[in-house]
Structure formats: C-alpha cells, structure tokens
Amino acid sequence: MAEPMSDQNERVAICPGTYDPVTNGHLDVIARASRVFDRVVVGVVGQAIRKQPPMFTAQERKGFIERAVADMGLENVTVEIFTNLLVDFARSHGATAIVKGLRAISDFEYEFEMNQLNRKAAPDIESVYIFAAAEYSFVRSTGVKEMATFGGPLDDLVPKEVAEALEARLRRD
C-alpha cells in the first residue's frame, strides 16, 4: 500500500476567477480539477480591473462557491478571496498550476496572453486548461446576468441559490 502524500508532494492548483456570479460551467471545471489535483484553491478576484464592478461582493461570491462545492462533496476544494498578483497568490498556497476553463476560441486569445505574462513572472507555475463540457460551452457570467435581467430561465446555468440572489438583486419594481 502506498504511503499518503506529504504536504510537500501535494499537487495544488489554483482556479482563479471573478465568479460574478459562479455558473454551473465554473463548478464543472472546479470539480474536474479536483479529480486531477490533491487540493484546489478557488481564488475569487477581490479587485476586478478589466471589467465593470461586480454585481456581488467578493464575500457573497466566495459564499456561493463554498456552499456549491460543499453540496457537491468536493472536500479537497477551498475558496479564498485574493487581491494580489495571481502567481503570488498561487505561490502562497504552494500551487504548481493555475487551472482555467476554456469555452470557445474567443477565450483562447485572452488566456494565451495571460499565460505568457504568468509564465514570465513565474515559470515554475504551469497553466492548465480544461475545456468546457458541451452543455456549458455557451455559459458565461455576463450572459447569465443578462438572462436574469429579462427574467430568462436560469435553472441549468447557475446553482439555485445564485439564481434566487440574481432575481432578488435585479428585481424590477
């Protein structure tokens, strides 16, 4: 029988994102990463710099993900908010990989650029990409918010708690 891996040999990955809101596509990538790595840290971006201000606070987004991964039984997944450089956040957790999901060709160009920047800053941390499952290949947080704004169905796009929070936040009087 093999000995359990020590903390030194633990394979740790970071799954970073804004998660505003977390979608079932995000959760699928996190779950799949949890089967490849010993420990997965979901890093919730605390300060979005390339997008409009988030709809949900970092604490709300963290809570949505924590409850969803607990419901999924993902015991090797933790969730933290970070406000520093991604590679520094990864190093602080002993991570050797950054895991991102890819939905379409449009994601590739941005992720390719980010990979090159991260690689320059931290050549010891690999970028690993998980292709979106077919049923989530079109799901993105911005699209979910647009659907919610106009009362569209969210059942298969986000966890129930997130759908309810979106409806409450976007409710028109």
Strands (E), the chain: 12-17, 39-45, 77-82, 97-102, 126-131
Q: How confident is the model at residue 172 (pLDDT cuts 50, 70, 90)?
A: low
- Does residue 172 lie within any of the structural domains? no
CB atoms < 10 A from the CB of 104, how many? 11
> CA dihedral in degrees (20, 103, 17, 89; nearest 10)?
180
- Does residue 89 lie within any of the structural domains? yes
**Single-letter residue type at 169:** R
Contact 87, 116 (CB under 8 A): no
- Does residue 131 lie within any of the structural domains? yes
State the distance between the two ends of the chain, measured CA to CA, in whole angstroms.
63
- Does residue 5 lie within any of the structural domains? no
pLDDT at 57: 95
pLDDT at 109: 85
- Does residue 127 lie within any of the structural domains? yes
pLDDT at 3: 38
Contact 69, 77 (CB under 8 A): yes
Q: How confident is the model at residue 52 (pLDDT cuts 50, 70, 90)?
A: confident
Question: pLDDT tens across 121-165, in order?
Answer: 999 999 999 999 999 999 999 999 999 999 999 999 999 999 999
Residue 112 is part of which domain span?
11-137
- Does residue 81 lie within any of the structural domains? yes
CA distance 12 to 157: 28
Half-sphere exposure of 127 (CA within 13 A, CB side): 21
pLDDT at 132: 93
List, in sequence order, every residue forming a beta bridge with 39; answer none if it has no partner.
Answer: 12
Name residues whose C-beta falls within 8 Å of residue 92's C-beta, 6 or more positions apart in sequence. Answer: none
**CATH classification of the domain holding 68:** 3.40.50.620
List, in sequence order, every residue forming a beta bridge with 81; answer none if it has no partner.
Answer: 44
- Does residue 167 lie within any of the structural domains? no
Question: pLDDT tens across 68-118, in order?
Answer: 999 999 999 999 999 999 999 999 999 999 999 998 887 888 899 999 999
- Does residue 92 lie within any of the structural domains? yes
pLDDT at 9 over 70: yes
Q: What total of structural domains would you count in the chain?
A: 1
CA distance 141 to 88: 26
